[in-house]
Structure 1
Amino acid sequence: MTKVRVYELAKKLGVPSKKLMTILEDLDIDVKNHMSSLEDDMAQLIIDLINEEKEPKKNKKDKEEEKELKIIEPKKEVEKKEEQAKSKTQKVVLPEKITIKELGQKTNIEPVKLIKKLIDFGLMLNINADINFESAKRLLKEFGFEAEKEEEESKEKLVKKIKEESAGNLKPRPPVVTVMGHVDHGKTTLLDAIRETRVAAQEAGGITQHIGASQIEKDGKIIIFLDTPGHEAFTALRARGASVTDIVVLVVAADDGVMPQTIEAINHAKAAGVPIIVAVNKIDKPDANPEKVKQQLTEYGLIPEEWGGDTIFVNVSARNRIGIDQLLEMILLVADMQELKADYDSPAVGVIIEAKLDKGRGPVASVIVQKGTLKVGDIIVAGGTWGKVRAMFDSRGKIVKEATPSIPVEVIGFEEVPVAGDILKVVVDEKTAREMAEKEKELLKEKEDITSPKVSLEKLFDKIKKGEVKELNIIIKADVHGSLEALKQAIEKCSNDQVVIRIIHGGVGAINESDILLASASNAVVIGFNVRPDSNARKLAEKENIDIRTYRIIYELIEDLQSAMKGLLEPEYKEVVIGHAQVRALFKVPNVGIVAGCYVVDGKITRNANIRVIRNGVVIYEGKISSLKRFKDDVREVASGYECGIAIDKFNDIKEDDVLEAFVNKKVE
């Protein structure tokens, strides 16, 4: 007896896989997921049932219900009109600032009357003068109105609103897919194969449009691929509150297997809660071993469907165009299961995925519309900038007049360059747009002045007491795999009734920008064991207010975590890094030992500072400076941009290209 898969049957019947799964559940037919198989006779039974359901059945009962609806409808309309009239005489919604002229228009009160009343209050203002909400509220009270403040929509609320639109106006939208994976595993080649074009050839041809996304068609359905350079860009957007990806395609080379960046990509996708499809690439290579890749990925929770899991694996060769159609089919299947929908009729809301200043065209932004339809001529706001859509181009550089949900377009018409991750919103007029942009700029300034602190070990207990923290996310970076595994086990045991500790990512090597971005997006603490943050990571951590903790002894780390959870952590001293020097040459000096000829890269090196020797991001030694010289003279400090000679107390194993990190311990007030 032959068998048929659930998703194949759904395709044959022309119904979504999710609907078919529900029907099977109602019939008590045991199926795990859309890849499960059904016997032929069972499949025929389902076909008969669905065909019966499709037949029109308009009986007497339906007609009676229709009649009832017609009777109820006018009554509802009357009630609605009465309610509107009632609310019009009593309440009015106002923004933070409004002109007297606009206030008169909103309330049907002559502006002259409003100005006279303001004179009674001791305010001499003209018709175009702005007054704030509190003044307007007091003024309108005199005329029998109750003023309510217009609720500001934050970025988070907007994103939530997009997802929570009423089902009535919703129509299916194309899925947005991000391709992630380890470097050299074939992400770009796979995207090229999917688009059936070559990026390099396009760039050589001088095409200037780079939209940051590609649009392809499969079986009459559209799929959008984000051309991100990897998980860093994916997480950077998420850190700013914008979530644009529906599906992640994880590319793993069949001859190479799981690599550090593969694990990073998995953790970034999981932290975002996005479904993962694994594309096992380079299957045509002689040493390809797809089964080994499957085995390795089970350790990270990606279990193939044929092994009882729910992760789809597709074997592909990007170079030879093998398995591409099957991959696209699986993307459409996962999208079908997610039932991706959006409102096409409302004013457009989207996300800026890239933005730049073009010499000839001015500010240019790549946008993915998430709700509504964006049209040429629309007045738009994104973060602290606004504009009018003068022109739009699709992913192939062709001029378009409108863009519907999920469709990526390049937008020209902004006054200034917006920021990637900003939410784009269509508004009624230029005045509103200008006001909203100004307000956002003010908010950004306020945020810069008082940056909202991310979770840190010092403040953990206070947050636990207030009920703000029930979960502590941690990212661990260690010098070797052995240390990493030991740390994971030890840290997970620290969880208690009040706080669950979740390790969202663990890796080997220096703390990098990608770790800080993930920490920012997931509100996590970064822990380094025998490793240090690189300069870019350090700057980003300061900007994003991320707590980085570095340790050399495992017990100190565990003690700190336990103390933080009990509210006992009161650090008396804080380590402050004051400078970095790179070793350029080595000299053997009698009675001194090895002296490192160094170039001070940033900050300064002082004679009384502690010194740390870092090789490839890993701490080799920590100690004191025994000698600091400029030429032959002893000096107290050497600033950045200068050369110097550094000798380290009781340590001679220095190598060229080592980084010497100078730090001091300052008492925390």
Structure 2
Amino acid sequence: MSETTDKPKLGARAPLGLKRTVETGKVKQSFSHGRSNTVVVEVKKRRILGRPGEAETAKPEPTPAPAPAPEARAPEPAPQPKPPVRPAAADTLTRRELQEKLLREAEEARLSALEEARRREDRQAKEASDEERRRAEDNRKAEDEARRQAEEDAKRQAEEEARAAAAPDPAAAPAGQAPSEEEDRRPAHARPKGAHVPVKRPEPARPSRGREEHRRERGKLTVTRALEGEGDARARSLAALKRAREKERRAHQQSGPQAKQVRDVVVPEAITVQELANRMAERGADLVKALFKMGTPVTVTETIDQDTAELLIEEFGHRMVRVSDADVDIQTETDVDPAETLQPRPPVVTIMGHVDHGKTSLLDAIRGANVVSGESGGITQHIGAYQVALPDKSKVTFLDTPGHEAFTEMRARGANVTDIVILVVAADDGLKPQTVEAINHTKAAGVPMIVAINKIDKEGARAQRVREELLQHEIVVEDLGGDVQDVEVSALKKTNLDKLLEAIQLQAELLELKANPDRAAEGAVVEAKLDKGRGPLATVLVQRGTLRVGDVFVAGAISGKVRAMIDDKGRQVKEAGPSVPVEVLGLSGVPSAGDVLTVVENDARAREVAAYRQSVLDRKRTTSAPASFDTMFSALKEKQAIEFPLVIKGDVQGSVEAIVSAVNKISNEDIRARVLHAGVGGITESDVTLARASGAPIIGFNVRANAKAREIAERDGVAMQYYDVIYDLTDAVKSAMAGELGPLIVENVVGRAEVREVFSAGKHGKAAGLLVTEGYIRKALKARIMRDDVIIYTGAIASLRRFKDDVAEVRAGLECGVTFENTTDLKAGDFIETYEVEERERTL
């Protein structure tokens, strides 16, 4: 026979198979600059190949029998299959311990790798986007699939090994005959041939308590091991994963638009289509298209009303919030800073007086005494406002307002930024008309005054005469027992300038001037102009808050953004706090002196407020009639005014004093005249500005207004009346003051009657049967119904009948029936009183 007969038959055992020993996974690599890459890693488990059935160990050769004689040789019997030699128990135990050790090491490596992977995934999860999280989900799915396949292969291999170990051996002992314990304890070489060696069956796998899902055998990955694995155990390629992720991304993008955000849209009474689109966060073209469908062809720059805007807002699914035009404007009256946020600020001082009394010289002297050497000149003259530092490091802000235009403009707009007024009076010249005008402006503004008696170094200077002349205008200085400080100074010799500054500090301490610097800035425009090279410029005095470069603001009807700020020294600054004057660049136009500058949150808000204020100005200019004696006092009547303001200008001082005395005598308990300013000379721009600030007419006696004053008066609607006879002037003032109180209303009672009985008149009406006791009852007269001397109805008689006939009048002593308009509350015993209303012209 062939040699193959010596080998054991393979059919006696279970068929052999290769278990899947390749396990796949993915590892994400992170590089610099946010780059990353995913690598497919295949882990091949260590495969231990033993002899089939543990019976392939070497066994001793059987002893050959002595060969018989050639003539007596018999046919050779078939060789018996060699019984497999079973391994010793010690060898089996050693191999099991080795396997358990390897499993423990693999388990520890797996757990450490899992812990490291979990930490790495935690770090990546914080930085990963939605796309990266989907990638991680794909990786986990692939790992779970590979792990599940590996577990199934391991389980299947274990079952095959168990079946192979339990297969019957042809050389085993006869059925039912078990080997003895002694034979089991004997070594393999000492056992008889064909002795049965028991095979220990593998123990069933213990439950892993939920950790089996995360088990992943680890091992060193080589090219050989990777190629030895089966193709079906490998995961998808990187290209396939990228295609799958791209497909998921496209599906996510095409899943549909996100839920539309519903907004609360604030809409004033009038708004442009583009501004409405901005507030709705929609495209302006879409709004125009919707308006075209509604039958309203407009462009994005056109203005629509609230009702049309509401239709658009509902069309696009938003909510509308209606506001009035007044709500658009900035309400500074209600914006009050808490007391704990206020901090001391420098005082703002305005120097006023006659131009020939040394006002300019005094300004230069104060400035020159407080600027460091080398700054020669100290300030740029066109600013008109500057700060000086006092010896105690405190600061004072000075305003230069020649002609008082800016001062009265500020007061006309309610922006009184001046804290203290210094009235400059020449000691050798006394009070002049412009000095008196400055006194009146100061009184009207209600700010404290300090009198600076200048030129005391000149011959003929009489300071006491100045103090006595001030008494005529109710200015009582401290030397005469009053409360107004006066300082004798010399701008030329720089005498007593320190005393003047001390008086300013003392007055500022009494006022306790404070402001909040930590808020949006708010200030007043001192003056403004148009520069050819730099555009519109405005000198702004900050009142509260801090103005910074880049702030968006609105000043009157002008909006802008602070591009640069220049201080009084000509230097560019980044911010300006309370009481600091700066020149601001970046306005869209030239504002008016006295306009309030307010910082707002954005450009849209600034444009909105500026547009509203401009519309108010346009409406006043086009609809309001010029102030007159008739229209002005009706407006004052609505405001419960009891004063009649006047500005009087005459040719000589005697005429002016006579006119003022006559006007003051016209006053009574209902109304009194108040002369804001009375001076000698022609009507100037300052007079018109003062009259506009107080809403007063200007009366000129033998004088006229100059061209500039007439232009301003016509523009601002200030009434001017010219007279040359004092009696005509006083009669006109009487009529105007009487017109303010309106006509005299007089009631004349013409009849009284008693209700005797009440009848039904029609379905819902009632008629009263009357007995006329006094006067007469006439149809369509005003009537009052009185019950227990209490008026319960005031109206008119609707119908009057006597014996079923309509009559026009019923005299006393006769009976009649009447019905009243809009009332049926009639009872017997009520009294009816009819009267007539007469309007008479009021006289003083």
CA distance in 2, matches of 1:148, 1:382: 25
Name the structure 1 match of 2:455: 282
CA distance in 2, matches of 1:335, 1:107: 51
Summarize the Cα distance change of 1:468–1:459 in structure 2 as closer, same or farther, 3 Å threshold.
farther
Aligned-pair distance for 1:380? 2.3
3-state SS of 2:357 partner: coil
Aligned-pair distance for 1:302? 1.0
Aligned-pair distance for 1:500? 1.8
Summarize the Cα distance change of 1:438–1:394 in structure 2 as closer, same or farther, 3 Å threshold.
same
After superposition, the CA RMSD in angstroms is: 3.9
Summarize the Cα distance change of 1:198–1:425 in structure 2 as closer, same or farther, 3 Å threshold.
same
Residues 1:437 and 2:632 are matched in the alignment: no
Summarize the Cα distance change of 1:252–1:464 in structure 2 as closer, same or farther, 3 Å threshold.
closer
CA distance in 1, matches of 2:381, 2:423: 26
Residues 1:230 and 2:406 are matched in the alignment: no
CA distance in 1, matches of 2:284, 2:600: 26
Name the structure 1 match of 2:694: 522
Aligned-pair distance for 1:490? 0.9
CA distance in 1, matches of 2:552, 2:729: 53
- The answer as to whether partners of 1:137 and 1:147 remain within 8 angstroms in 2 is no
Name the structure 2 match of 1:394: 567
Summarize the Cα distance change of 1:468–1:90 in structure 2 as closer, same or farther, 3 Å threshold.
farther
**From 467, 476, 481, the counterpart of 2:653:** 481
Residues 1:540 and 2:734 are matched in the alignment: no
- The answer as to whether partners of 2:555 and 2:597 remain within 8 angstroms in 1 is yes
Residues 1:549 and 2:721 are matched in the alignment: yes
CA distance in 1, matches of 2:284, 2:739: 59
Residues 1:361 and 2:534 are matched in the alignment: yes
Name the structure 2 match of 1:567: 739
Name the structure 2 match of 1:457: 629
- After the TM superposition, which residues 415-430 of structure 1 pair with which residues of structure 2 at under 5 Å, given as runs? 415-430=588-603
Residues 1:188 and 2:360 are matched in the alignment: yes
CA distance in 1, matches of 2:360, 2:327: 38
- The answer as to whether partners of 2:406 and 2:594 remain within 8 angstroms in 1 is no
CA distance in 2, matches of 1:258, 1:316: 16
Summarize the Cα distance change of 1:154–1:323 in structure 2 as closer, same or farther, 3 Å threshold.
farther
Name the structure 1 match of 2:218: none
- The answer as to whether partners of 2:406 and 2:593 remain within 8 angstroms in 1 is no
- The answer as to whether partners of 2:380 and 2:568 remain within 8 angstroms in 1 is no
CA distance in 2, matches of 1:410, 1:523: 31
Letter in 2 for 1:251: V
* Larger CA deviation: 379-388 vs 206-215: 206-215
Summarize the Cα distance change of 1:150–1:527 in structure 2 as closer, same or farther, 3 Å threshold.
closer
Residues 1:322 and 2:495 are matched in the alignment: yes
Letter in 2 for 1:227: D
CA distance in 1, matches of 2:396, 2:361: 17
CA distance in 2, matches of 1:291, 1:545: 43
Letter in 1 for 2:733: L
Name the structure 2 match of 1:292: 465
Summarize the Cα distance change of 1:157–1:430 in structure 2 as closer, same or farther, 3 Å threshold.
closer
CA distance in 2, matches of 1:360, 1:206: 23
- Residue by residue over 1:179-216, the C-alpha shift from the partner in whole angstroms, topping out at 9 and shown as x without a partner, is 001121111111111111799x9999898672110101
Aligned-pair distance for 1:316? 0.9
Residues 1:466 and 2:638 are matched in the alignment: yes
- The answer as to whether partners of 2:280 and 2:318 remain within 8 angstroms in 1 is no
Residues 1:411 and 2:584 are matched in the alignment: yes
- The answer as to whether partners of 1:140 and 1:147 remain within 8 angstroms in 2 is no
Summarize the Cα distance change of 1:192–1:126 in structure 2 as closer, same or farther, 3 Å threshold.
closer
Q: State TM-score, norm by structure 2.
A: 0.51
- Residue by residue over 1:118-141, the C-alpha shift from the partner in whole angstroms, topping out at 9 and shown as x without a partner, is 899777999999864444456668
3-state SS of 2:713 partner: helix
CA distance in 1, matches of 2:278, 2:691: 49
Summarize the Cα distance change of 1:345–1:197 in structure 2 as closer, same or farther, 3 Å threshold.
same
Aligned-pair distance for 1:509? 2.0
Summarize the Cα distance change of 1:154–1:450 in structure 2 as closer, same or farther, 3 Å threshold.
farther
Aligned-pair distance for 1:489? 1.2
Summarize the Cα distance change of 1:127–1:397 in structure 2 as closer, same or farther, 3 Å threshold.
closer
CA distance in 2, matches of 1:141, 1:244: 47
- The answer as to whether partners of 1:460 and 1:469 remain within 8 angstroms in 2 is no
CA distance in 2, matches of 1:152, 1:567: 31
Aligned length: 479
Aligned-pair distance for 1:362? 2.5
- In the alignment, structure 1 segments of 5+ residues that lack a partner are 1-88, 571-669
Summarize the Cα distance change of 1:184–1:565 in structure 2 as closer, same or farther, 3 Å threshold.
closer
Structure number with bigger Rg: 2
- After the TM superposition, which residues 327-366 of structure 1 pair with which residues of structure 2 at under 5 Å, given as runs? 327-366=500-539
3-state SS of 2:495 partner: coil
Name the structure 2 match of 1:23: none
Aligned-pair distance for 1:97? 5.6
* Larger CA deviation: 511-520 vs 275-284: 511-520
Name the structure 2 match of 1:506: 678
Summarize the Cα distance change of 1:567–1:100 in structure 2 as closer, same or farther, 3 Å threshold.
closer
- In the alignment, structure 2 segments of 5+ residues that lack a partner are 1-261, 743-844
Summarize the Cα distance change of 1:157–1:243 in structure 2 as closer, same or farther, 3 Å threshold.
farther
Residues 1:149 and 2:327 are matched in the alignment: no
Name the structure 1 match of 2:543: 370
Name the structure 1 match of 2:477: 304
CA distance in 1, matches of 2:395, 2:523: 18
Summarize the Cα distance change of 1:229–1:176 in structure 2 as closer, same or farther, 3 Å threshold.
same
- Residue by residue over 1:273-325, the C-alpha shift from the partner in whole angstroms, topping out at 9 and shown as x without a partner, is 12111011111223221111111101111101233321111111111111111
Name the structure 2 match of 1:491: 663
- The answer as to whether partners of 2:644 and 2:737 remain within 8 angstroms in 1 is no
Identity, % of aligned positions: 49
Q: Name the structure where strand makes up a greater proportion of residues.
A: 1
Aligned-pair distance for 1:387? 2.4
Summarize the Cα distance change of 1:449–1:97 in structure 2 as closer, same or farther, 3 Å threshold.
closer
- The answer as to whether partners of 2:527 and 2:540 remain within 8 angstroms in 1 is yes
Summarize the Cα distance change of 1:339–1:115 in structure 2 as closer, same or farther, 3 Å threshold.
same
Summarize the Cα distance change of 1:127–1:298 in structure 2 as closer, same or farther, 3 Å threshold.
closer
Name the structure 2 match of 1:69: none
Aligned-pair distance for 1:339? 2.1
CA distance in 2, matches of 1:101, 1:289: 69
Aligned-pair distance for 1:113? 12
- The answer as to whether partners of 2:523 and 2:596 remain within 8 angstroms in 1 is yes
- Residue by residue over 1:54-91, the C-alpha shift from the partner in whole angstroms, topping out at 9 and shown as x without a partner, is xxxxxxxxxxxxxxxxxxxxxxxxxxxxxxxxxxx998
3-state SS of 1:531 partner: coil
3-state SS of 1:230 partner: helix
Residues 1:382 and 2:555 are matched in the alignment: yes
Aligned-pair distance for 1:462? 3.1
Letter in 2 for 1:480: V
- After the TM superposition, which residues 209-220 of structure 1 pair with which residues of structure 2 at under 5 Å, given as runs? 210-218=382-390, 219-220=392-393
Summarize the Cα distance change of 1:405–1:206 in structure 2 as closer, same or farther, 3 Å threshold.
closer
* Larger CA deviation: 443-452 vs 105-114: 105-114
- The answer as to whether partners of 2:388 and 2:396 remain within 8 angstroms in 1 is yes
3-state SS of 1:278 partner: strand
Name the structure 2 match of 1:169: 341
Q: State TM-score, norm by structure 1.
A: 0.63
CA distance in 2, matches of 1:116, 1:449: 35
Aligned-pair distance for 1:418? 3.0
Name the structure 1 match of 2:442: 269
Aligned-pair distance for 1:153? 6.7
- The answer as to whether partners of 2:329 and 2:609 remain within 8 angstroms in 1 is no
Summarize the Cα distance change of 1:305–1:154 in structure 2 as closer, same or farther, 3 Å threshold.
farther
- The answer as to whether partners of 1:477 and 1:531 remain within 8 angstroms in 2 is yes
- The answer as to whether partners of 2:442 and 2:449 remain within 8 angstroms in 1 is yes
Name the structure 2 match of 1:243: 416
CA distance in 2, matches of 1:192, 1:150: 50
- The answer as to whether partners of 2:357 and 2:424 remain within 8 angstroms in 1 is yes
Letter in 2 for 1:522: S
CA distance in 2, matches of 1:354, 1:404: 18
